[in-house]
Amino acid sequence: MFKRIGLVGKRQVSEVVETLKKLIAYLQAHRVNVMVDTDNAPHLTDSGAKTADLPTMGRKCDLVIIVGGDGTFLRAASTLVDYEIRLLGIHMGRVGFLTDLTPPRMCEQLDQVLAGEFTEERRFLLRTTILRDGEALSEVDALNDIVAHNANIARLIEFETYINGQLVSCQRSDGLIVSTPTGSTAYALAGGGPILHPSLDAIVLVPICPNTLSSRPIVVDGDSEIEIVIGPRSPTRAQLASDGQITFDLEPGDRILIHKKRQHLHLIHPPGHDYFATLRDKLDWNLEH
């Protein structure tokens, strides 16, 4: 079913390189053309795999397999989403909500995937535009979350939040997390937000350490237009982070516009994938006997 497969791995990790070598040998034995990312290609010169950057994989591959943790997956997904290509993750990180396969069983599970036995789901991303004095300064995408936060320890920022043009709140806090269902098990969960099932078309807004106990997380429709306005007298410097990476320094008066990105991420899972089993495993919900 998949004639050309791209491989992306976490950088400078010997275990990842060994896993990539096994994957290349396995896929070549199944007569699949293999491309490997430019970061790991220097360690795989004898493998026979072609070297390609992410945009090239997006244009030419039928499937991209990502080896690493959720961070590696997020970085690759932010580029590959524009090509709406199928993605599959092999878990070699700490938590791994986005990576299903494990190295000991990956060949067995890939037998099923290559035979067309898998489930597929779509995940949406958030597209964010930063406006200053009416001018668009930057655009970023996030699969997990967009976070406006203070850049100084133990200082609060002032901001207003609007949903579809209606004022929701004026608050002072460490910031605000705007999360997709995918990101609801990441920073938003640590901030006290709810877990959203990935199939939901919804966005959750979670205040970070607000100075009022009445500030609570809010879940809104996934097609909502969200705007955050940094207060003109905000006493501290603010920053914007996309999927945990600092992307922009904010100034008083800046407007942050957030909405659903048009392109979706296409994730595939081996047969038997169970989201609730993943939650039980990753969040330690199983009782000990």
Q: How much of the chain is in helix, strand and coil states, percent to nearest 5? A: 25, 40, 35
Answer yes or no: are the C-beta atoms of 144 and 186 closer than 8 Å: yes
Q: Give dist(CA 143, CA 70) in Å, integer.
A: 11
* DSSP code of residue 184: G
- What separation in angstroms does the CA of 141 have from each of 33, 84, 198, 224, 226? 30, 14, 18, 16, 14
Answer yes or no: are the C-beta atoms of 183 and 145 closer than 8 Å: yes
Answer yes or no: are the C-beta atoms of 128 and 106 closer than 8 Å: no
Asked about 70 being catalytic, the answer comes back as: yes
Q: Which one from 37, 46, 62, 70 is the annotated catalytic residue?
A: 70
Tokens representing 244 are 């945990």
Q: Which residues carry out catalysis?
A: 70
